[in-house]
Structure 1
Amino acid sequence: MLKAGADVLIEAQRAEAQAMGLNETGGFINSIKATDVKGDDTEKYVEIYPQGRAKHGNDRKGDKSKVRYATIGFVAEYGTSSHAARPYMTVANEKAHEKVVEAQRSIWESETGK
């Protein structure tokens, strides 16, 4: 159930990131993935966010280390003093909410017979 909902949400976030112009190298959009199912007997969940590292550092500051895609996503989502926010994740989550619930409900109904 969680994986079905995650698949829908991943596609929505990738599409919204593409629409907002966050595809400079292609790596960021492809990095949006779901984690494995986490939790315990009481609660299970899946996290969806940009994972991994870009193949570039912060050249402006002379930093050659690889930047986390999650950091790139955070800056895009909330903006900076010199760059406007491009809230790809918030917009995608709102647009895809019903589709995610429907995907999860269909799995629930097929598994429980209700």
Structure 2
Amino acid sequence: MELLYASCVGVLVSCGIFLLLRARTFPVVLGLTMISYAVNLFLFSAGRLTINKAVVLGTGTDYADPLPQALVLTAIVIGFAMTAFVVILAIRGRADLGSDHVDGHLVKSAAESKEQK
């Protein structure tokens, strides 16, 4: 089970880094979101994945640690809020600059060079 979670974390991180290196705003936002999901999955799997065990029992028994689950739940809420904020920033940047390119100056200089020719 841990191997499956580790593989999923690796795939999510690699896809997230690939999307972070794109030149457009929306893939960068998706890349950040995928990396945050990978971190959430890593934190969740750090709490010892036990199947068919009670969450908390008395002392001396094997139980699943509830702290990583609480951390993941908090991270999901914060990640959703940050994703919504970054999407709004991307929309505003698109409206102001006229392009969704990450480096807005590059787009303006390319447009100016076309106008000069």
| Structure 2 length-normalised TM | 0.33
Higher relative contact order, structure no. (Cα contacts within 8 Å, ≥ 6 residues apart): 1
| Structure 1 length-normalised TM | 0.33
More helix by percentage: 2
More strand by percentage: 1
For the pair shown, the structure with the greater C-alpha radius of gyration is 2
